[in-house]
Amino acid sequence: MIPDVQAALDNVLSSAVSLRNAGGAGRAFELFVMTGVACELKSRGFDVWLQRSDETRIAPTDSNRDFIQRGGAPTGVTSKSQGDRNASVIGFRWARRPAWEIWNGIQFEGRSGALHEIDLAIVPASVGAALRSRSSSGYPIGRPRIAIECKDVQGAGSVDEMRAFVARLYDLTLLYAHHQHFAFAGPPQAIHPGAPPGGKHRPVLTYWQENRRTLNVIARRTGFVHGASAMTGYHAIEPHGGIVVGSSTTATLIDSVASWIVAQGY
């Protein structure tokens, strides 16, 4: 799987990349999905780039072309003042529209104050810039536009696994009515701090609406038990099993994420 990740990064940069991937179960799987989405967006005409943790882009001619997957426990977004040796991200944009970032292993803060790791999250680049401008690490509050839970495990996805993902998204959802209870600066929005221009991400009224204007995915190397799959329709979660190198199900997952991004006009 790592050779496929390496090839994908080289394709995005159009040059050889030095991959610094983390050890541990499932980390290569996360990179595999992350870079697969990036390559697909590039093939559809998006501007796609690799970005260091200090917010500088990696250029094909740079002597330092390290793409770093941060190891250890998940954390927030590090300040750019801490240098370029923390977690790299992948950025993309369509034409002159606002830019977006793909994050790996970042914790988001929910309404309860609890922190929830999202394996792969796609957020407005303005959110990343706002967090990196701080003097220390910060956590985005709210829900990413795309959340992908990655499971590189042998057993089938259980009902409890699905419940845990639903509960995580529930705590991360900021509805319009919630803002009167929180001291957020600026107008109500679906994720703090930072929002792209145009007010696209103002909060909605119900969870049903938010579930359907975001993309929420569980990607697994194996499949799901029947009870877990039965929960996905109501909560608008896409279950994708059989995610392995070269499979048609992997191609379906990557196509689904990229097509959703295109349909949103990002």
Q: Where are the domains of the chain?
A: 2-263
How far apart, in whole angstroms, are the C-alpha atoms of residue 199 and residue 188? 10
Q: What pLDDT does residue 196 have? A: 59
Confidence at residue 182, expressed as pLDDT on a 0 to 100 scale: 87
- pLDDT one-digit tens code per residue, 15-62: 999 999 999 879 999 999 999 999 999 999 999 999 999 999 999 999
Q: What is the pLDDT of residue 132?
A: 95
pLDDT score, position 76: 95
The span from the CA of 164 to the CA of 162, in Å, is 5
Q: How many CB atoms lie within 10 A of CB 138?
A: 18
pLDDT at residue 266, rounded to an integer:
79
Which residues, given as ranges, of the chain have pLDDT below 70?
194-200
Run of H or E including 184: none
Single pTM value for the model: 0.96
3-state secondary structure labels for all residues of 110-146: CCCCCEEEEEEEEEEHHHHHHHHCCCCCECCEECCCE
Other beta carbons less than 10 A from residue 68's beta carbon: 18
Which CATH code of 3.20.20.70, 3.90.550.10, 3.30.930.10, 3.40.1350.10 fits the domain covering 2-263? 3.40.1350.10
Identity (one letter) of the amino acid at 171? D
Q: Hey, what are 144's tokens?
A: 């990413």
Work out the number of other CB atoms within 10 angstroms of the CB of residue 161. 19
